[in-house]
Amino acid sequence: MNDIENRDDVALLVNTFYAKIRTNDELGPIFNKAIHDWDSHLIHLTNFWESQLFRKNVFSGNPLKKHVEVDENNNNQLSNDLFGLWLQFWLGTIDELFEGDLANLAKDRARNIASFMFMEIFRSRQNK
């Protein structure tokens, strides 16, 4: 197995991962409710992860704001368990497709992002 080496690899990871998420009984309804144009969103997510892994300035947006909105649109029901499930799918998809330093970096970044997002979503609930 190879490491994540370029944008095509990132796109493979993102597309494979979200194909699983979209059909999951717990996560699928949340994502499918929030995302109306999957083709564009997958490109946007590929840009995000390419920026995270290769330090390229190809992503613009505010993921925290979007996730707070998704939580609000789901009656503040995004839980730590759901973030954990998201993370399990991400880690498992990486392990299926890649191994190496950038694969490990993608895992570490996802762990940090999941923790940060959940804590900030929880904080935003307290500020209302």
How do residues 41-68 score in pLDDT, each as one tens digit? 999 999 999 999 999 888 888 988 999 9
Q: List the structure tokens of 13.
A: 């990871």
- Note the pLDDT of residue 128: 66
User: Would you say domain 7-126 falls under CATH 1.10.510.10?
Assistant: no
Contacts of residue 40, defined as CB under 8 A and 6 or more positions apart, other chains included, come to: none
Global pTM? 0.93
